[in-house]
Amino acid sequence: MKNIAFMIPFVKFREEDENMAQMHRWAIALILTILFMSACSSPVTTREQGGLIGAGLGAGTGAIIGSTVGHAAVGALIGGPVGLIAGALIGDQLMHQETRQDEQQRQIDRNQTELERLRRENERLRGDPSR
C-alpha cells in the first residue's frame, strides 16, 4: 500500500507535465501561424523567392553531400545559408533586370504616344489648305 501512495503524486505530476507540454505545443503552433500569416501579408519579391529557393536547394544538396560522409544535418546547416545567399544574389539580379525592362517598356510607351501625337499633328497640317 505504501508503494501505491508514493506513486499517486508522481502520476499527477506526469499528467501536469503532459498538460504543460500540450499547452506549449499549442502556443508554439499559434506563434508559428501568426508569423507565417504576417510574413505572407505582402507579395514576395524576386529576391526573396530566389533566397527561399536557394536555401531549399542548398540545404537539400548539403544534406545529400553530408549524408555521404555521415553528417547530413551538418551538410544541410552549411548548404542552407550558402544556398540562401546565392539564391538571393541571383534573385536580386533578376529583380534589377525586371526593373530595367519595366523602365524600357515605359519609355517605349511614351515614345509611341509621342509618335502618335506627331502623326496626328502632321495629318492636321497636311489637311489644312491655309498653310
Q: Minimal CA–CA distance to 57: which of 91, 32, 29?
A: 91
95 and 36 share a domain?
A: no
104 and 67 share a domain?
A: yes
66 and 4 share a domain?
A: no
More confident residue, 91 or 52: 91
Measured distance CA(86)–CA(52) in Å, rounded: 10
More confident residue, 57 or 97: 97
8 and 69 share a domain?
A: no
Q: Is 108 a residue whose pLDDT tops 90?
A: yes
66 and 24 share a domain?
A: no
More confident residue, 73 or 90: 90
Structural domains of the chain, count: 2
Q: Minimal CA–CA distance to 127: which of 98, 37, 91, 119?
A: 119
More confident residue, 81 or 1: 81
57 and 36 share a domain?
A: no
Q: Which domain holds residue 8?
A: 1-42
Domain end call among 42, 58, 75: 42
Considering the chain, what is the average pLDDT of its residues? 80
- The sign of the CA dihedral 23, 28, 31, 37 is negative
3-state secondary structure (DSSP) of residue 130: coil
